[in-house]
């Protein structure tokens, strides 16, 4: 109904990943409600609160595999910690500096004009806009 089929085993298989109990549990937390920005530690705390605890190494493995499979994207906004973003469509971010909170905003109303051409021998891969704000 919302385009997000809740059949997580099938979605994982489609991404070339075996639907293990751990990956299904993590996928549920990540994808069953709206878009999210999580850190590995944060997701680990969440999944531990579940009937199916998962090791921190597995959380890191799964996040990296989901990212490599295109199910997540990685966002780097602060030194020392990676965020993983369940929103893989085009969009940009507000970053609230003191708390480390990330908020999406759609990129379709944002126009970026006048970007120079990429340096010789390189191809554009992605344009990230991070709007840093303070309280």
Q: In degrees rounded to 5, what are phi and psi of residue 74?
A: -100, 135
Q: Is 21 in the site for DNA (CB under 7 A)?
A: yes
Binding track over 69-98 against a copy of itself, x by CB under 8 A: -----x-xxxxxxx-----------x-xx-
Q: Which of 3, 80, 116, 121 binds DNA (CB under 7 A)?
A: 80
Q: Is 83 in the site for Zn ion (CB under 5 A)?
A: no
95 vs 103: CA distance, rounded Å: 7
CB of 11 to a copy of itself, least distance (A): 26
Which two tokens mark 103?
């908020």
Other beta carbons within 10 Å of 55: 12
Q: Which of 14, 57, 127, 130 binds DNA (CB under 7 A)?
A: 57
Closest CA to 55 of 18, 86, 23, 33: 23
Q: Which of 2, 49, 70, 79 binds DNA (CB under 7 A)?
A: 79
């Amino acid at each position: 109904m919302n385009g997000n089929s809740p059949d997580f085993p099938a979605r994982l298989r489609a991404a070339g990943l075996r639907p293990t109990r751990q990956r299904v549990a993590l996928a549920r937390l990540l994808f069953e409600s709206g878009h999210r920005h999580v850190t590995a530690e944060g997701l680990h705390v969440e999944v531990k609160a579940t009937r199916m605890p998962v090791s921190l190494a597995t959380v890191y493995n799964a996040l990296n595999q989901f990212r490599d499979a295109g199910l997540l994207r990685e966002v780097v906004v602060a030194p020392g910690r990676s965020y993983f973003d369940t929103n893989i469509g085009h969009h940009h971010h507000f970053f609230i500096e003191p708390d480390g909170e990330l908020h999406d905003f759609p990129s379709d109303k944002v126009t970026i004009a006048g970007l120079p051409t990429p340096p010789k021998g390189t191809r554009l891969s992605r344009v990230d806009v991070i709007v840093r704000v303070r309280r």
